[in-house]
Amino acid sequence: MSNVITEQLTQAGQQIEHDSFAIVDREAGAHNYTPAQWQVVRRMIHATADFEFNGLTEFHEHAINAALQAISKGAPIVADVEMICVGLSKPRLEHFGMRSYQYISNGDVIAEAKARNTTRAVQAMGKAHRMGHINNGIVAVGNAPTALLEVVRMIKEENVKPALIVGMPVGFVSAAESKELTSTLQDVPWIVTRGRKGGSTLVVAALHALLSLAEAQQR
């Protein structure tokens, strides 16, 4: 029995997606991922047509299990930018009782960033923590390396503990370094893309893959 909530809504759409996944599987060649990890990576490849994510994507050993547990509990998703929230399927989130949050455009966040001469992304993550969304939540970063660096700082200095970090910021300033630092975390599971490549599209694809795995687990 196939998934219902996390599938395309029409039979034609489902067929196109399944055919695309088959092409990815065929052309990607060998990989060292577990079957569950590969579902995440191949959806990222499907979303970008970039086969380099077969190899650039790395997982904490407990990332998949942590994701499934968090989703089953309706964990909040804290995004660094609105693009991730817009890209996530609301019906899929609602099926699990989940909501996504982003604060980067809030007036108080902007004012605080100016006052402290820091980035909106840093202050947005601080607000998300004060709102109670980061502890036991899923942190999803696809654009702002400073957001990822701030979460890692909070984990190390303030005992903050997300259920999972999906850290895939894109860019040339601190992007690779922020993901490298995230990958040193031992007690908080993570999924990252090495190097400069990343983006909100990848984060959305990874989260949709995790939701699909969670729905399959419900059967």
pLDDT in tens, 97-110: 999 999 999 999 99
Q: Between these two residues, 20 and 144, which has the higher pLDDT value?
A: 144
- Of the CA atoms within 13 Å of residue 198, those in its CB half-sphere come to 31
CB atoms inside a 10 Å sphere around CB 212: 18
d(CA 124, CA 126) in angstroms, rounded, equals 5
The yes-or-no verdict on residue 2 having pLDDT over 70 is no
Average pLDDT value for residue range 56-82: 98
State whether CATH 3.40.50.10230 applies to domain 57-218: yes
> Active-site residue among 46, 60, 95, 133?
46
Residue 82 DSSP symbol: H
Cβ contacts of residue 174 below 8 Å, gap of 6+?
145, 146, 149
What is the residue extent of each domain of the chain? 57-218
pLDDT in tens, 32-52: 999 999 999 999 999 999 999
User: What 3-state class would DSSP assign to 199?
Assistant: coil
Could you confirm whether 46 is annotated as catalytic? Answer: yes
Percentage of the chain lying above the pLDDT 70 cut: 95
Q: Residue 169's closest CA among 160, 155, 179, 158?
A: 179
Average pLDDT value for residue range 141-164: 97
**CA of residue 168 relative to chain centroid, distance:** 7
* Torsion sign (Cα): 117, 123, 124, 127: negative
Q: Are 27 and 53 in contact (CB under 8 A)?
A: no
The mean pLDDT value of the chain amounts to 94
Give the model's confidence band at 1: pLDDT under 50 very low, under 70 low, under 90 confident, else very high.
Answer: very low
